[in-house]
Amino acid sequence: MAGRVDLDGNTIKPITICMIGAGGFIGSHLCEKLMSETPHKVLAVDVSNDKIKHLLEPATLAWADRMEFHRINIKNDSRLEGLIKMADLTINLAAICTPADYNTRPLDTIYSNFIDALPVVKYCSENGKRLIHFSTCEIYGKTIGAFLPKDSPLRQDPAYYVLKEDTSPCIFGPIEKQRWSYACAKQLIERLIYAEGAENGLEFTIVRPFNWIGPRMDFIPGIDGPSEGVPRVLACFSNNLLRREPLKLVDGGESQRTFIYIKDAIEAVLLMIENPARANGHIFNVGNPNNEVTVRQLAEMMTKVYSKVSGESSLETPTIDVSSKEFYGEGYDDSDKRIPDMTIINKQLAWNPKTSLWDLLESTLTYQHRTYAEAIKQAMSKSTAN
Ligand SMILES: NC(=O)c1ccc[n+]([C@@H]2O[C@H](COP(=O)([O-])OP(=O)(O)OC[C@H]3O[C@@H](n4cnc5c(N)ncnc54)[C@H](O)[C@@H]3O)[C@@H](O)[C@H]2O)c1
Ligand SMILES: O=c1ccn([C@@H]2O[C@H](COP(=O)(O)OP(=O)(O)O[C@H]3OC[C@@H](O)[C@H](O)[C@H]3O)[C@@H](O)[C@H]2O)c(=O)[nH]1
């Protein structure tokens, strides 16, 4: 840890970070990285600490004096401003961010992603504190190419689908497609942060994650989350594989995504934390443009990888089709394709992702199998006994 230098060769001084949403998927990996590889201190804020318990206990851990947990709901807790004042940098990860909620709980989604983030921006701006805010790749919505005729050769032209921070438009569906409540709330908070920077000098960085996946993402329904809950696709498909049921392909599984390994993405966030002069005032796509698949291809690859890591044979019918209305309910809509342009992050932070989709699925599904296979077996045998 001694002698850490930034990208310009300057010594990095230890800082205090107020991390809101530290108990979630991304927060848990970021805390792990900061504790094991840096001298920085973290004031971890969340309503839950299940995913960071291993970093908080026992008190003999090497970093025990650099990490504290504050169980705070940022909707209604006056302690928040004090913590932001104590820190050099605030990172805001807190949000409702599972698509199953966007069309079924649009009010909670909008409040969580816009209204609840407002005081965080205000406290940072008023107290002259730096802010790294987590937005989303959903901000781009659909690609321009999605509106071209299916057989148009322009659909093959990257100008019609690669998503660029400073030039791509944000294309959302109609208001009755409540799926876009999340993207729209995230867009407005981005605009507000940008305006605070322009008018009041707020030092900010905005991160747009493109489908970061890995261990500890979401929950497995009925094991460490509600039985009827619908997590993001990695956990949905993991749950199906663990239970030996077919993977459900929403509307044919034709949508395309690029998936990035959480550990690669965390490297990018650490560069932003430790290189403020290069990161301030920027919006960064953080994704892996080389890992593009359709959701159907993802299902096929996960089935193969899971077979390898579990030693179990694949099902005869590994996937089934389901309509989005049946799976998510009224008001669902989808992003067709998400390829991040990497120019800005390459130029500012010289960062590139490393891990292939196969490799990241292999390590993630090894974790899922080790963590959940036994618990699922027990839960399933209990329910057949009843
Ligand atoms: N994982 C991805 O690929 C991805 C993609 C795009 C955007 N993001 C954004 O990154 C951020 C973190 O995502 P994640 O995948 O870690 O999600 P997550 O749900 O695992 O983590 C969010 C955390 O915020 C906490 N939280 C929510 N509301 C809170 C409140 N009112 N007070 C205190 N804590 C609260 C939750 O308890 C949770 O631990 C979110 O803003 C999300 O929109 C993530
Ligand atoms: O069981 C499933 C689950 C999901 N899907 C499909 O898989 C795709 C990916 O779904 P995810 O649940 O991972 O979420 P999305 O990629 O649509 O959105 C995510 O992207 C970026 C973040 O802001 C959020 O984490 C989330 O909104 C969608 O097309 C979805 O319809 C299935 O086909 N079957």
Q: What's the CA-to-centroid distance between 217 and ligand 2, angstroms?
A: 13
Helix (H) or strand (E) holding 206, with range, is strand 204-209
- CB of 47 within 6 A of ligand 1: the answer is yes
- CB of 235 within 6 A of ligand 1: the answer is no
Q: What is the pLDDT of residues 199-217, one digit of tens each?
A: 999 999 999 999 999 999 9
Residue 305 forms part of a structural domain? yes
Residue 287 forms part of a structural domain? yes
Residue 112 forms part of a structural domain? yes
d(CA 247, CA 252): 12
- CB of 70 within 6 A of ligand 1: the answer is no
Residue 58 forms part of a structural domain? no
Q: What's the CA-to-centroid distance between 143 and ligand 2, angstroms?
A: 16
How many domains does the chain fold into? 1
Amino acid identity, position 247: L
Q: What's the CA-to-centroid distance between 232 and ligand 2, angstroms?
A: 5
Residue 40 forms part of a structural domain? no
CA distances from 151 to 51, 143, 147, 155, 366 (A): 46, 16, 11, 8, 40
Whole-model pTM: value is: 0.98
Q: What's the CA-to-centroid distance between 189 and ligand 2, angstroms?
A: 22
Mean residue pLDDT of the chain comes to 97
Q: What is the pLDDT of residue 384?
A: 80
Q: What is the pLDDT of residues 324-360, one digit of tens each?
A: 999 999 999 999 999 999 999 999 999 999 999 999 9
Helix ranges (H only) for 201-355 are: 233-242, 262-274, 276-279, 295-310, 324-328, 343-349
- Domain limits at 138? 95-372
Closest CA to 364 of 208, 222, 260, 247: 260
Q: Find tokens 């500890």 and name the residue.
A: 216
Q: What is the pLDDT of residues 51-107, one digit of tens each?
A: 999 999 999 999 999 999 999 999 989 999 999 999 999 999 999 999 999 999 999
- CB of 48 within 6 A of ligand 1: the answer is yes
Residue 159 forms part of a structural domain? yes
Closest ligand to C-alpha of residue 183 is 2
Residue 155's CATH number: 3.40.50.720
Q: What is the pLDDT of residues 127-173, one digit of tens each?
A: 999 999 999 999 999 999 999 999 999 999 999 999 999 999 999 99
- CB of 113 within 6 A of ligand 2: the answer is no
Query: Could you report the predicted ipTM of this complex, rounded to two decimals?
Result: 0.99
Active-site choice (182, 261, 328, 372): 182
- CB of 233 within 6 A of ligand 2: the answer is yes
Give the burial string for 147-169 (b: 16+ CB within 10 Å, else e): eeeeeeeebeeeebbbbebeebe
Give the burial string for 222-233 (b: 16+ CB within 10 Å, else e): beeeeeebbbbb
Q: Is it the case that residue 2 has pLDDT exceeding 70?
A: no
d(CA 358, CA 259): 10
Residue nearest to atom 11 of ligand 1 (CA): 93
Residue 244 forms part of a structural domain? yes
Residue 109 forms part of a structural domain? yes
Q: What is the pLDDT of residue 350?
A: 98
Q: Cα–chain-centroid distance for residue 175?
A: 24
